[in-house]
Chain A
Amino acid sequence: MTEKQIKIVAFLCNWCSYGAADLAGVSRMQYSTDIRVIRVPCSGRIDAKLILAAFREGADGVWVSGCHPGECHYLEGNYYARRKFILMGNLMEHMGIDKNRVHFSWISSAEATKFAKVAREVADTIVPMGPNDRFVKKAV
């Protein structure tokens, strides 16, 4: 049996979580290969449009990671993001898409260990759920 490979899109903030991913990489830390990274300027840049676009194109899960509160490169982008994320997650769940397909984290650029740990957690939650079939644009 060939299983569809699970795809998790990770939107990582350029200033911290992306650095953490980099550091995790050069430190040869192990984490799931299902994760595909997209570098973004700030977690505050992440909009529901982008998350739905990921699902629409076939992502099975989405992970957004930014700087710790108070450490945003743009001072407060992640504070705004936090409010957006919770509303977005709730509305998704309300419409019948499992909230556990969308994850959020704060990881600084020094926290390579945390990055690898959260990456494993995210994958461990999403992979057993199998492929996502909601909000996916079916082949035309």
Chain B
Amino acid sequence: MNTITKNIQELAVSLLRDKTVDIVIGFKSGTVPMSSVPFVAKTTEQARTFIWDTHCRLNLANYLTGRKEKIGIIAKGCDSRNIANHIIENKISREQLHIIGVPCSGMVDKVKIASEFTEEIIEYTEQPDSFVVKTASQTKTLLKKDYLRANCSTCMHPNPVIYDQLAADRVTEPLIENQFADVNRIEALSRDEKWQHFDDLLQDCIRCYACRNACPLCYCPTCFVDESDPQWVGKGTDTTDIRTFHFLRAYHCAGRCTDCGACVEACPMDINVRDFTRKLNKDVFDMYGWEAGLDIKNRPPLDTFNPDDPDEFIK
């Protein structure tokens, strides 16, 4: 058992035992290699099944919406930023939460790892900086830093921004020269190439809405895709409908997205839906110097304004 897992379990157990909280939300191990399961512990025994590894990719803030009890929650950097979002947007109150922060050294990309092998991965074991992958015929040791998820490799806030306790020492916050290189690559394309890029990207979309549902920002009582009067988006596989869905989904996250990557993680078709949200993240950063969820005081950029905001584009 790694130290962080041990610390998380101990902290969670004592929170439940002392009745500081009613439940603790964390991860337990999954049933297939390279997976984890969001999990709620109500008893100290259950708290002892919490784990922490580089597959805790989903964003646990997603499980806070509408809960009434006193909650302990395990939060890596991005989770904590989404918790901050939730607090700003009145989806949960700070007093209701006891945040066990986990400084994060990044989660690995299971698709990237799987693509290294022609066979199915049957076992995965983790070491501090590397991991061992087993298939039917081979065993390979790979370095974590080479297989980080795209969003983790450009993450500048691996430490939780709000927390009550930490489950490990803070990690060094990396300085990344250009955190939006991926956006720049698309921006450099011609208009037709851009259109084509998103056409290819969305070719496999099956409209399961896993991206939306895994996103901690998507808590609208009725999502625009589910509205029937008027119906904004057709429900079939028409490419315009699919593109419209992704445009609007991303747009609803403008200035709120923490680039936690839960959307990509959840997509069964491995679509990099971050290609939409990243552009918005870059723009709000460039124009308003904003990164979502860094504190619980400032309103997100679309919920506020400055009389001197850029408006050269307006006639």
Contact = CB atoms under 8 A, between A and B. Distances in A.
The answer to whether A and B touch directly, with their CB atoms under 8 angstroms apart, is: yes
Contacts of B10: none
Contacts of A89: 313
Contacts of B192: 96
A56 B192 CA distance: 19
Nearest to A104: B314
B240 interface: yes
Contacts of A4: none
Nearest to A50: B232
B195 A134 contact: yes
Interface stretch (A8-16, A20-28, A75-83): A75-83
A87 B280 contact: yes
Interface residues of A, number: 39
B299 to A, nearest CB: 11
Contact of B302 (A80, A92, A105): A80
Nearest to B234: A137
B254 A87 contact: yes
A44 to B, nearest CB: 10
Nearest to B194: A96
Given A49-B224, A87-B251, A87-B284, A95 B314 contact: no
By DSSP majority rule, is chain A's interface helix, strand, loop, or mixed?
helix
A69 interface: yes
Given A104-B313, A137-B240, A138-B240, A95 B305 contact: no
A55 to B, nearest CB: 9
Interface size range on B against A:
35 or more
A42 B305 CA distance: 16
Contacts of B208: none
A48 interface: yes
B279 A94 contact: yes
Interface in B281-315: 283-284, 287-288, 301-302, 305, 307, 309-311, 313-315
A103 interface: yes
Contacts of B310: 86
A52 B247 contact: yes
Interface string B209-226: 000000000000000100
Given A87-B254, A95-B194, A136-B240, A79 B309 contact: yes
14 contacts: A48-B247, A56-B244, A70-B307, A80-B305, A82-B314, A83-B301, A83-B305, A83-B309, A87-B302, A90-B279, A91-B283, A96-B191, A97-B195, A135-B240
Interface of B: 183, 186-187, 191-198, 224, 230, 232, 234, 238, 240-241, 243-244, 247-248, 250-251, 254-255, 276, 279-280, 283-284, 287-288, 301-302, 305, 307, 309-311, 313-315
